[in-house]
Structure 1
Amino acid sequence: MDIGEGISDVTDKSSTRARDAIRRVMHSVQSLHVHDSSSITSVAPEHTFGTSIMNGLKWCCVERCPKLDTVFATNYYWRCFNNLEIFWAAHLLMARSVWSRPRDLSLDPRDSSFRRLRAIHLHFCPRLRYVLPMASNNTLSKVLETLHIHCCGDLKQVFLVEQEFLEKIAARHEKGMLGFPNLKSLYLYDLISLQQICEAKMFAPKLETIHIRGCWGLRRLTATDSRRREDGRPVAVDCEKDWWDKLEWDGMKSGHHPSLFQPSHSKYYKRRHLRSTVLR
């Protein structure tokens, strides 16, 4: 489905029949491209979609909608986005989040969401504060493979973690870390406010590549399999040397040690950094 210029918000004053018709269509959509709308503030307002939301959707791209505030507003009372595999967002000048936070934190873990979301790509969303809140019924961490974020200047944390879920992670999860068992690639570029990828410490045993530029506030990488050093398969990290030298580590027992990673520093970025330093 393609939604472009001319589309407007479905408000809470719209007729019940109109909302029901839109709900039926959107729940069956498998591919959604929303673009160039100067009026919508949310692709999926909570008052329109109710408890479950867009469980047929597999691919979604949202771009160039300057008034969009929250891309998807949902209360997470029921399964949401169960078949979504790939999400793209670009040039959303006012968007503060992709998915909203749950209002009620007493969520049933059996009503899980994001069961197939393998890749998230975000580009040029300068006001974005976070991408997704993680709670006990969120399975994204188990399936995510690729995270690619570029030029989102206000972004401080990619994944918020609700306090109740943080406490469960500390008490029940291995080494007090949230597992990302299928995460393979991280691409983080020019995120000047970024402090954390996730509020909980991350463990990604299959991590293969990390590309990071211009994320000077980020002080930690995700932990990984401590056997990588023995197996001779460290995680490849492309980054600035000055940033790498300032990273904080928890130690080998936690799978969080510099010897588990193989950093490389591009000569191009070295030269550019040197020139910018001299000009100041």
Structure 2
Amino acid sequence: MELLDFSGNICYYKSRLSVESSCSNLETVIIEGSPSLKEISLKGCAKLKRLLLSELFPQLCSLDITGTAVKTLDLGAVTAPELDELFLLDCGELRAILWPPPSENRGKRYPSKLHIETTQNDKESTAADGTGRSPTGRSNHWYISVRDARLLGSLEPVKDYFGPNFAHVEVSALASPGTAGSKDVGIKGSSGQQQVYVTLKEAGMQEEEEEANDGETDASARIMFRCPPSPPVPSQGCYMHIQDWVERTIVVPAFVYDGAKILHIHDSSLRRIHAAPSGPAQNELEWCRAERCPALECVLSMGSRTFNKLRTIWGSHLFYARCFVEENNIIGRISIRIFAGLTLLHLYCCPRLEYALPLRGYTVSLENLETLEIMWCGDLISVFDQESRPQHRPIMLNLFKLPKLKHIHLHELPKLYHIYGATVDAPKLETVKIRGCWNLSSLPVVTGEEKGVVCDCEKEWWERLQQVSESRQTIHYKPIHPQYYKKTMLRGSALR
């Protein structure tokens, strides 16, 4: 049997319509409206390509076409105000979903349960990489796993879901043969407070802390601060996984990108992650971590976004990136507050990084920054500046205030000239650790500090700093030098 037509043949008292998976050759199913039908299940009909639904289904609450070959689920000719559960798991051919028109008496425009899966995941690989995608993801009220990010455009009519509910979106590249792990990106959120979590990962990668501390004897070369954990993902909400297996650029719908609260990118070969065009948006991002992405050009893009809710930036092993946040001159600079909530900025082993955040010209920024840690970024010229020309001495005409900055750790930044192209005022500064920053010619100004700020640095660098800096920049510092320090220690290679 290839065609099954229920037009006018469904009993009025029947509440459930189920077609068994034994109908292995079934290709087309036609169902017209029914006043009593509540559930439709075509689960396991592997050759089913066309599902034709039409007219009124006043009580239909569940539709399950798991394991079918349907390419387009067309609900546009259906009036189903009670449709609340939609299951499209293992639908590898699915390309689009056309939603039914909104009903006037319907309280919400999105289903409570939505499970979509068009990926063909190796269950053994999934278990090996530890993502727990199958057991954890499918337990969420919304579970979306697609091979192509363009399918997410079908969620536009139900984008209201991403406002009040938690969402975890994951984007991954297809694992190569013989690779147990996978590369992925994701977004998370919670009921009552939306959050999005993006993650990219691959098996066999070492933890950053282990790699950084392996064989190190100098305590200053070690990572001093751990990355704050991301919020846990509750079962309520959405788990979204995008398996991008061809493109080097992923385009995420704007309602997902701008609603993200957590962004974690690692072990990806992607060059860029774009958000679809949108109007001015108040980005909800709070936690951002990017690591081991050799081709990633930048992690975030400003546009019309201010990232005032972003609290954590953690970047490492971004070998191609020249900045962590890119400014594309769309946003105006008059009376704009950006990065107002940022408390931790950590960058490690980003050799081409020239600056971290573009702050020049903005009115207020970084008013809550507490920790600044940057290590092994050889091309870094300025931390909070996008000027390509290095300035050996900061501009003394104005102050760049960091009122809550407490800790600074700078390690092996040979091209770093300053933290910002103006005098930095940090009244709450407590500790400073500096190694291998021989071109750094200034420290933040500390006022009202009686006990002195501990500055752990090379003795030769400190002596030169006192010569080139104004006295008020170093008067409140208490320098300490490493015990192994010797005046004859080479600053470069033996050939120099």
Q: TM-score, normalised by structure 2?
A: 0.46
Map of 2:471 onto structure 1: 251
Task: Return the letter of the residue paired with 1:246.
Answer: R
Selected match of 2:352 from 124, 127, 140: 127
Query: 2:402 aligned with 1:176, yes or no?
Result: no
Distance across 1 between alignment mates of 2:488 and 2:311: 37
| CA displacement 1:30-89 (0-9 Å, x = unmatched) | 222111111x2234x3x63545567222111101111111221222x4x42121101100
How far did 1:121 drift?
0.3
Contact 2:426–2:445 (CA under 8 A) maintained in structure 1: yes
Question: Which protein has the bigger helix share?
Answer: 1
Task: Return the letter of the residue paired with 1:71.
Answer: V
Selected match of 1:67 from 295, 306, 316: 295
Unaligned runs of 5+ in 1: 163-169
Map of 1:113 onto structure 2: 338
Map of 2:285 onto structure 1: 57
Map of 1:209 onto structure 2: 431
Distance across 2 between alignment mates of 1:54 and 1:66: 29
Task: Return the letter of the residue paired with 1:74.
Answer: M
Name the SS for the 1:212 alignment partner: strand
Distance across 2 between alignment mates of 1:199 and 1:86: 23
Sequence identity of aligned pairs in percent?
33
| CA displacement 1:125-157 (0-9 Å, x = unmatched) | 000011111145463332211110000000011
Query: 2:378 aligned with 1:153, yes or no?
Result: yes
Map of 1:3 onto structure 2: 199
| CA displacement 1:179-227 (0-9 Å, x = unmatched) | 11111111000011111111111111111111000001111111110x3
Selected match of 2:312 from 86, 102, 107: 86
How far did 1:271 drift?
5.1
Q: Which has the larger radius of gyration?
A: 2
Distance across 1 between alignment mates of 2:380 and 2:492: 25
Task: Return the letter of the residue paired with 1:261.
Answer: Y
Map of 2:326 onto structure 1: 100
Query: 2:409 aligned with 1:187, yes or no?
Result: yes
Q: TM-score, normalised by structure 1?
A: 0.78
Selected match of 2:458 from 237, 240, 245: 240
Contact 1:52–1:80 (CA under 8 A) maintained in structure 2: no
Distance across 2 between alignment mates of 1:251 and 1:49: 50
Task: Return the letter of the residue paired with 1:23.
Answer: A
Q: State the structure with bigger RCO (CA 8 A, min sep 6), 1 or 2.
A: 1
Name the SS for the 2:489 alignment partner: helix
Contact 1:161–1:200 (CA under 8 A) maintained in structure 2: no
Distance 1:124 1:161, change over 3 A: closer
Contact 1:161–1:198 (CA under 8 A) maintained in structure 2: no
Tell me the C-alpha RMSD between the 2 structures. Answer: 2.8
* Equivalent pairs, count: 247
Distance 1:251 1:279, change over 3 A: closer
Unaligned runs of 5+ in 2: 1-196, 202-242, 388-394
Distance across 2 between alignment mates of 1:64 and 1:54: 28
Distance 1:149 1:4, change over 3 A: same
Task: Return the letter of the residue paired with 1:56.
Answer: E
Map of 2:479 onto structure 1: 263
Name the SS for the 1:245 alignment partner: helix
Query: 2:446 aligned with 1:221, yes or no?
Result: no
Distance across 1 between alignment mates of 2:254 and 2:320: 25
Task: Return the letter of the residue paired with 1:124.
Answer: C
